[in-house]
Structure formats: structure tokens, C-alpha cells
Amino acid sequence: MRPARSASVLAASLLALVATACQVTSELQRGTPGTAWLAELDVSREVPPTLDLGFGAQRARGPELAAGDRVVFELTFTGTSQVAPRYLAFEVLGPSMQDGRQRFSSFDATMDGKPLTRSNALYRVRIELFGEQGVSLDTSEVELAESPGESHLAVCEAMQALGMALAAEGLPFDADGVRELQNRVPLLEYRYKVLGSVQALVSMLALAQDDDLLSDLLWDVVDKPSALSIIRSLGVDLSLSPLYHEASLELADLPGIELPGPLRSLPLTITLNGEAALFMDLLVVEPAPPWTMTSGIVAFHGQHPTAAIAVTGRLVSASSR
């Protein structure tokens, strides 16, 4: 039985993001140094033929999502009940419709104290979990919102440029520094780049909480909160802190990653009721259909903060019909 959940909305304020990033960096010791996990990717394992559709069916630029877009991730676990690799497939079935019209979702955020709402088209997506031999183990259907806007890659570059701008003015990389800088330099460009990326990440975390299939995988690597923690927090509150300014530039090509670079490793911390629950590194590229479904994430590593529990995923197939 899963604990009751409460949705967590991350305010996409540039000041708040910088302050949170600095706090997480100083107070929480990350579990995986740099991107050492990339060197440990097992790329010799053959993907089941029924799942290996390659990367050659990229469609021309068009909608962010379209029926027939399909991506498959290989998942490997350490220290959990999952002893064999699993494969997680996402396929767009079509627009989510109601009364003959496509449905939309709203993303509410706060930008420098002002409310901001972005509307995104919703699509029906089938999720299917496969075993090591390609046998279907479970399925579910969810609604996924398009996440137009800047990619995680662009935000990493923008935040590093922001750090350089702060340094040029002799200001620290923290909320006070950004507050002072915005009195001297317009920062609208940075704000909207961050907002698009945060929207995609928050949507993915909410999906992992709310879908039964995905939440089962999530609770394999994240400790369920104690009854006392649930009482204190009035439920279960999952949130995330992306550390854009710490993103590292990787090689143009990496073994096991079939998509062209440049690639950046974006660290983030998932917290549960205010405590670190999972240290993650996301390997990101510029998104293009059909891997816009992943917002450009092509591999990831999640490390439990105190136990020898980890999950690693890599994109092994991306195709369009």
C-alpha cells in the first residue's frame, strides 16, 4: 500500500532556484562524484529485438509530441528487489480529447512574486514495463503535457552564463547576488529559460508519483516516509532542486548513447518531506522528436543518500511511425 501523496509545486523564481541550489550544494553531500557512473554503463547487453527499434526513425520537426512517438529506456538496479534489467517504454497514443477538443493542462509558477500560468496540450501516453527477455510485465496509460520552451541543455548554459555575469560584477552566486544583478542587467532571458526546464522536470516527478507503475519503481529506490514524517508533513511531499550551475559538459559522443552531442550532466536532488531522498544526474541533449518526450534526457543515475541503492537508465530506442 502506497502512502498518501500531496502534490508539490515548485515556484519557478530565478531567485528561489539560485538560493535552493546553493543551499543543497552546501548542506547535502551528493552520493555520486561527478559522472563516474557513465563509465560503468553496461553497453554490451543486447536489447530484446521487439524493443530495439533503433534511432533512425526521427521525424521532421513538428509538434513536440505526436502519435507513434516511442522511446525505450533500459533500467538497471543495485541493492533492490529488481535483480534483472527492466525496459520501460513510452508511446504517444494521440491527443487527449474531451467533447471533441484537445485538453490542456496548466502549470502555475511564481516569477519574481508574480503568478504565471503556462498552458500545454495534453497527450495520451502508454507506459509498458518489460522484463529482461522483452516480456511485458505491466502497462498503464497517463496524460503527458507538451513542454515547449528551452531545453535543459540551454538552461545549463544560461545559468553558467549567469554565474559569469555575476562574477564580472563581483557578485556572489546566490539569491542576494542575483537580486543585485537584476538591478543592473535585465534577467528576463534567464527567467524564462529556467521556467521551461523546471516545468518539464516537475511534470516528470508528478508523473512518477501519481502513476502506479512508475511509483512502484520509484519506491524501490526511495525510502517510504515514516508515519511520523507523514503526520508532520501532512502527507508525502516530493520536490526537486536542479543544480544547473553545476552541470558539466561531457564528450560529444559516449558509449551507449546513440544521439549526437553536446551532452551535459545535470545534477539534481529529490527531497521527500524536506529530506534528501535521491541524488540524481541527468545526461541531457538538445531535444528533437521523438525524444522530446523525455525533454532531452538520454540517461540518468539515481543514488540513495545513505544506502547502497541505485538505479541507472539509458535511452536504447527512439522512433516515430
Q: What is the tens place of the pLDDT at every residue in 263-321? A: 888 888 888 887 888 999 998 888 888 888 888 888 899 999 888 889 999 998 888 87
Burial class (CB in 10 A: 0-12, 13-18, 19+), 200: buried
Angle between helices 188-210 and 212-221 (to 10 degrees): 100
pLDDT at res. 134:
92
Count of other CB atoms within 10 angstroms of residue 320: 18
CA 19, CA 217: separation in Å to the nearest integer?
Answer: 30
Higher pLDDT, 152 or 94: 94
Every domain of the chain and the residues it spans: 14-319
Q: What pLDDT does 225 receive?
A: 63
Number of other residues whose CB lies within 10 A of the CB of residue 1: 4
pLDDT tens, position by position, 44-70: 788 888 887 777 656 666 678 889 999
The predicted structure's pLDDT at residue 142 = 93
- The reply to whether the predicted model has a pTM over 0.75 is yes
The mean per-residue pLDDT over the stretch 22-36 comes to: 48
Question: Residue 180 in 3-state DSSP?
Answer: helix
Query: What pLDDT is stored for residue 98 in this prediction?
Result: 92
Give the residue, 137 or 149, on which the prediction is more confident.
137
What average pLDDT is seen over the chain? Answer: 77
Is residue 290 reached through a cis peptide bond, with omega within 30 degrees of 0 on the bond before it? yes
- Locate 79 and state its grid cell: 541493492
Rounded-to-integer distance, Cα 228 and Cα 234, Å? 10
Whether 231 shows a pLDDT value over 60: the answer reads no
How confident is the model at residue 166, as a pLDDT?
85
Q: Under 8 Å CB-to-CB from 40, ≥6 apart: which residues? A: 312
By three-state DSSP, how is residue 209 classified? helix
SS3 call for 188: helix
